[in-house]
Each structure stands twice: as structure tokens, then as C-alpha cells.
Amino acid sequence: MNSQTDKRLIAGPAGQIEVAIDLPPGSDSGATPVGTALICHPNPTQGGTMDNKVVQTLARAFIQLGWRAVRFNFRGIGKSEGAWDEGRGEVDDAMAVHDALRAPGETLVLAGFSFGGYVAAQAALRLTEPAQAAKRLVLVGPATSRFDTAPVPADTVVIHGEVDDVVPLSAVLDWARPQCLPVIVVPGVGHFFHGQLPLLKSLVVRAFDLTKI
């Protein structure tokens, strides 16, 4: 994302996983990040990578909020080894990154765009111990029409474009309705938030800033 992005390889269930880590301002002088935000990218079979613009926008939002932003490539993408596993192994990949990079007791946010939203929701289900549980989830354009996305906590931030032509808004509302889960709908915006990435960033930042009031 920038010249200071720390890129490394970690061990995963299907081989090495490529990871990118960005720290918030002040980290060089010893400031401790609020916690780790683990961000999952869209469907790798459709060109999704950790460098997707929405994923990078999420990372920038969390960096601004003082979090360490961790992105990674699912198996078979970039320098990550392995092959597409229809969502099953990709959740394992996310958990491997979590286990390798999250410090014991560190505060965690799980985030994802499109297919990455499905992965983030599934990963949250695996963190069942209170000390492990994610503090919050942020799902942008979650692929509820394509993958069986798990129910999420009531304070989950869900952001979706009104005219999303990849995941219809109606599919997200059908998923959210039984949970009484609010959805932030951005008028006139499609799946990839073209031209509205600054707005997307501000919506994420605002959602977290409001929790401090």
C-alpha cells in the first residue's frame, strides 16, 4: 500500500501465505496500536487480491483509527501457495494469519469485502473464547447471495451499494432482516465503490468514532 508496508510470508495450511502489514502513525516512536484489523479480500477466482482498492481503503480507515492493518492473499494468489478451495480452505488461511500475527489478548477487528465478508464472518465463529472473540466485524458488499454467510453480532458494520450488480442489495437485506441487523446503504454506488472510496473510508471511521461517544 505504501513504501513502509511490511510484506512477509507466513506458514499456512496449504503452504506459505503472503501478508502485508501497515502500522498507524506514531508506531515508529513506540506508540502501541489499538489492536489488529484482519482484512479479507474478494473472490480470488474473479481477480480478488489483498491489493484490491476496497481492501486497501479498509486498511487506510483502520490505520487512521490507530489499528494495525493486516491484509493477506488467499491460497493460490500472489505469492500464497495452494489452490482455490471454494471458501473452506480460505477460512483456514484467515485463521492461520490470525494465529501467526495476533498477540495473546490483543484486540481484534475482522473485516472483509465481498467474498472476504463471508470469510470474516466464518472466522468470527471460530473465535469462541471470550478472550479470543473479535471486538467487531466490518463487512463491505458481503457476498450473501453467493456464499452461506454466517449470522454476525448486532454491532457489525455492514456497508452496501444501492446498485450493486454483483451482490444485489436485496440479498444482503434478506440475510440481515432475520438478525435485525442494520445495513448502511450508499445511494447510487455499485459493488466496487468506484468514485466513492473516500466516502467508504469515512463511513468506517465514523462507525468506530461513534462508539467512543
- SS (HEC) of the chain: CCCCCEEEEEEECCEEEEEEEECCCCHHHCCCCCCEEEEECCCHHHCCCCCCHHHHHHHHHHHHCCCEEEEECCCCCCCCCCCCCCCHHHHHHHHHHHHHHCCCCCCEEEEEECHHHHHHHHHHHHCCCCCCCCCEEEEECCCCCCCCCCCCCCCCEEEEECCCCCCCHHHHHHHHHHHCCCCEEECCCCCCCCCCHHHHHHHHHHHHHHCCC
Q: Check residue 29 and give its pLDDT.
A: 66
- What's the confidence (pLDDT) of residue 4? 87
Backbone angles phi, psi at 137, to 5 degrees: -115, 145
Distance CA 213, CA 207 (A): 11
Strand pairing of 15-22 and 68-72?
Answer: antiparallel
Q: What are the domain boundaries of the chain? A: 6-210
Distance CA 147, CA 197 (A): 24
pLDDT on residue 2: 75
The answer to whether 63 and 69 have CB atoms below 8 angstroms apart is yes
Spans of the chain, pLDDT less than 50: 213
Please state which architecture CATH assigns to domain 6-210: 3-Layer(aba) Sandwich (3.40)
Closest C-alpha among 18, 73, 22, 21 to residue 43:
73
Specify the pLDDT at position 27. Answer: 74
- Return the amino acid letter for 204: V
> What pLDDT shows up at residue 26?
77
pLDDT single digits (tens) 54-88: 999 999 999 999 999 999 999 999 999 999 999 99
What does the pLDDT look like over 182-193, one tens digit per residue?
999 999 999 999
Q: What angle do CA 133, 130, 101 make, to 5 degrees?
A: 45
* pLDDT computed for residue 213 by the predictor: 42
Judge whether 126 and 95 are in contact, CB under 8 Å: yes
Task: Record the cell numbers describing residue 181, joined without a space.
Answer: 441487523
